[in-house]
Amino acid sequence: MAQAQTSAPKDDLVSAAAASARVAVGLEMAYDIVDELARVPEKYPELFARLSRVVVKTLSDVEAALDKVEDGKEKEALERARLRLMRWGRLLESFINRLEGLDERRRAEEIRKFAALALAPDTLTVEVAEILERP
């Protein structure tokens, strides 16, 4: 699996940041944060800080599950989720740096694109949710 670089083209950066956040958004049902980002993009510093707290909590949950799971396929899914979540800080920093260089209209467009991608369900998030929901 290729990792996004901080020098990635702008669409790749938005997609990579959204994929990193998507695991936390889906598992922690942080849809309200992402929805608010789309509705009020000028509040992005505060909302990305809130989303970062959700990512950290989700990372902790995934790491705890990694210690308990025996199944190789489940461990692989959890490890992929862990790696995505661990990239969040670096990707967010790059994304925010890019946002700060944009005019207000373009910034809002990029944030809305991020929000739409972060809300889009994916197979990994579903797999990890099923693993974490077990007693």
Residue with tokens 């997609």: 15
Going by C-beta distance under 8 Å and a sequence separation of 6 or more, which residues neighbour residue 25? 31, 33, 34, 51, 54, 118, 119
- Give the amino acid at 122: D
CA dist list (Å): 80 to 19, 50, 84: 11, 23, 6
Prediction pTM value: 0.86
Helix (H) or strand (E) holding 69: none
Q: What pLDDT score does 8 carry?
A: 44
For residue 56, the SS3 value is: helix
Q: Which helix H or strand E contains 120, and what residues bound it?
A: none
Q: Which two tokens stand for residue 70?
A: 């025996």
Q: Locate the domains of the chain by residue range.
A: 10-133
Q: What is the pLDDT of residue 134?
A: 85
Nearest partner of 49 among 84, 16, 89, 13, judged by Cα = 89
pLDDT of the chain, 135 residues: tens digit per residue = 333 333 445 569 999 999 999 999 998 889 999 999 999 999 999 999 999 999 999 999 999 999 999 999 999 999 999 999 999 999 999 999 999 999 999 999 999 999 999 999 899 999 999 999 987
